[in-house]
A and B are shown apart, each in its own frame.
Chain A
Amino acid sequence: MSSKKLLMTFPVTATSHQLADYRARGGYATLEKVLRTMQPADVTKEVAASGVQGRGGAAFPAGRKWGVINLADGQPHYLCANADEGEPGTFKDRWILENAPHLLVESMLIAAYALEVRHAFVYIRGEFDLPYRRLAGAIEEARAAGYLGAPLFGGAFSCELVAHRGAGSYVCGEASGLLTSLEGKRGYPRNRPPRLTVKGLYRRPTVVNNVETLANLVNILRDGAAAFKSHGTPKNPGTRLISISGHIAKPGVYEIEIGYPWRTFLEEDCGGMMNDANLKCVIPGGISTKVLTASEIASLTLDSESVESAGSSMGSGGMIAIAEGTCMVRLLQVMLRFYHHESCGQCTPCREGMGWLHRIIDRIVDGQGRKEDLDQMLRISRMNDGTTICGMGDAAGYATVGILAKYRDEFDYWIEHKRSRYDGNLECRPST
């Protein structure tokens, strides 16, 4: 537990999410410092210098995204925090929204100042009840305290912040689908070009950042980019919130310094596997990232380069630990049911491919599988690779290919014997 923390730095109490407690922790001082001493372009420079990468899953450097915004183009710009945390296994933004909503508000005001934004939005997942109430409360408190909708610290800058609740669609967590939904339309993702930083919300330059990415801004600007870069790895600085679930002894949200050894994280921080089961594999960051076996992660550290070297990615930080004895056929069935259910239906490969994959795996589980079905599933995954409007088709393909590549023998077993190899093998209930 030697990991340095930047976000989970305070004890969670009944009032720790409120403005008074946040101010007592030094809240809104960074905003004042930035607004009084820095120019907007300097803030962007500082963020770019920090090298902070997007925490939503794509790991795109935030500074580069911001750099596309031309402050002198005479257009309104928009900022939107992506709080539509829908990737299965991921619940780390929820911790920020529940326990440090003011950190998000302050960070968004800093980002709004840097990007000349007058209207910022938080698109929050509709299923998030407590997080929404906490965020709405924080916005109210901030407005009452004069941080929102009024000129700040004697300057001309003011910004309005609106929290918008989604209606429960996975695809609306994709940045362009999110903006389309925010505009009040059907949440279909959009084709690129144009990029959202050129034509986003209401066809204006828009920055969409993950909640955790934004939450890091206060740290970066309070202590400077150099201090932020001293954490994590040189290419992938800072800390990450990891939400871990599955057959793990202590599931929950953990903050780790990027580059933290994976095994240490699982065995020491998370208390090892439930009931001392053996680890079979890990889904690193949401089910859209390729699964890694226990032996593959043995020498890996929790940073983008290390995980990508093993052919997967850190994704959204939604880690799922899977114990020995878990049936991967059923696991894939659950995943594909999810993708089929959540496909928005806009573009052909995903609309038809997801249903096709789901129906094939259902048939295999029903005992009607054929040997060639597995190749057919790989072929459908390939049809979706890079051909869809958003990344969902690819993601489902990665999940399928990842599991089929490593656990094909389990599928062959099911097809041949019409049942799981692991029926009754998994005993992972928590000990009472």
Chain B
Amino acid sequence: MPTIYVDGREIQADKGDTVLQAALAAGCDLPYFCYHPALSIAGSCRVCVVQVEGRSWVEIACNMPVTEGLRVLTDSDLVREHRAAMLELTLLNHPVDCGICDKAGECTLQDYHYEYHGKASVSLEPKVRATKQFPLSSRIVLDNERCILCSRCVRFTREISKSNGLGIQERGDQSLVRASEDGAFEHDPYSDNVVDLCPVGALLPRAFVHRSRVWYLKATPSVCPGCARGCTVQIWHRKPEWAFKALDPAKNTRIERVTPLANPGVNGPWICNKGRDLANIFERARALQPMLRGQPATLDGAVFAAHVLIASAKRPLALVSSWGSNEELAAFAATLGTGMPSFVKADWLPMPGEVVEDEILIRADKNPNTAGALARFPAWDGQFGDADVVVVWGEGVAASRIPDSAAVVRFGSYADADAASAHVFIPISVQTERAGHYTNFEGTVSAFERCFDTRANVADAEALFPLLAESTKATA
């Protein structure tokens, strides 16, 4: 444990650390663009300069190994001068189009400029022009004028996603980040992470371009339901205090974007592209109407009908959702589950074209809480036996698979033919409308929070199950 001194402050560093790592870990404020804790050291942005006490020159902190007793200054005149010079040079050919840049508000270049430089450019020369809105892939657009060539995205595809999908072409101030010709970046299931890595607004997801200003958005911690990894994510949606009053109210309850929530124990700082597209899952046409054999009913009426059906069942069978939270599963186990044989089904199977499994994050089980469900119920073998009432919670069991002899009680969130054909259909809330926990395949429990209010006529599964069981008891 070497001891180093940053601006006279004593810091215990780990052996093998760099000065930048040790200083950041101790809470010192040092700017950097190209450094990223998960990537190799590039040392190219030259902004993290520090001065070793007694030396008349500056060096970069990200490539300076800690040595016992090393004393560095992060705020000497020389450091401030060089830092400002590096920011001045970084901005020299940057378009400074913050007004129309989607990164504005969360851009490190913007932040550092105000903090460490803050002056207008003294250059009279025309800026270097480069491609704008360059389609790096079908998901990502690149603005080469905004790019500061920190090479984080390039290193990500080499070191983390291993697709080698990005590289730099040309040289000097004509350098351009480009995708390799073999289309590896297009098929990289982790490609969108380069957007989060980009310290400026050069790499932007097509889906988010000009969609919203980031300061109108709120990030709610959540868990990606896309597979059994259970990556923690942030779901960005309109802040309630900035809710649209005049425009389409649906804009207030839509998912604007999804970003990773760094979690060393589960997903590190990354998520896959499927996790970015949670809107594709949660914003499918919703079932908002309780139904009896396809005919609209009130929620109370549907609940009553379900309880009558379940209570009268001689050989009931329940198929439990592997998308239910631990709280909902516990509620089911304590109520309905006590009265009938209950099994865990896979709500989702891998879709055509989807990456089934890899060595980075993606798991073959495409359900978020299979582990939590299997802790309470056995796995379903796919047979209905001679069940006369089948309770289906969630997706994954089409009506056509269920024997005609059995009556079906369905709890679902999405409007489809299965909902209309059930004897009783009760709409339930989706993950973004409630809080809860999922247990991932390794047994790690992660929490998700509520983003939006529950819709009218839609039940919360956790509250619904005791209600049905109460009714069960009352009739029995």
Contacts and interface: CB of A to CB of B under 8 A. Distances in A.
Contact of B89 (A191, A344, A348, A370): A348
B85 A383 contact: yes
Interface in B84-138: 85-86, 88-90, 92-93, 122-126, 128
A387 B172 contact: no
B71 interface: no
A308 B67 CA distance: 33
Contacts of B122: 376
Nearest to A192: B63
Contact of B57 (A186, A352, A386): A386
5 contacts: A186-B167, A348-B149, A352-B92, A352-B173, A387-B58
- Give the size category of A's interface with B: 20 to 34
A354 B42 CA distance: 20
A200 B86 CA distance: 28
Interface of A: 169, 186, 191, 193, 340-349, 351-356, 359-360, 363, 370, 376, 383, 386-389
Given A349-B86, A355-B128, A343 B171 contact: yes
Interface string B55-83: 00110100101000000000000000010
Contact of A347 (B46, B88, B171): B46
Contacts of B148: 348
A353 B174 CA distance: 13
B125 A352 contact: no
Contacts of B168: 186, 345
Contacts of B128: 355
B294 interface: no
Contacts of B93: 352, 355
Q: Which 8 A-B pairs have the closest CB atoms?
A: A345-B175, A343-B172, A359-B125, A191-B43, A352-B89, A355-B173, A383-B85, A345-B172
Interface in B44-62: 44-47, 49, 57-58, 60
Contact of B90 (A348, A360, A387): A348
B170 interface: yes
A359 B121 CA distance: 15
A191 B124 contact: no
A359 B82 CA distance: 22
Contacts of A193: 63, 65
B463 interface: no
Contacts of A341: 172
Contacts of A191: 41, 43, 60, 63
A351 B173 CA distance: 5
Contacts of A343: 171-173
Interface in B2-56: 41-47, 49
B236 to A, nearest CB: 31
Contact of B49 (A345, A353, A354, A387): A387
Given A351-B172, A355-B128, A360-B125, A383 B60 contact: no
B44 A346 contact: yes
A166 to B, nearest CB: 14
Given A352-B92, A356-B125, A389-B44, A345 B86 contact: no
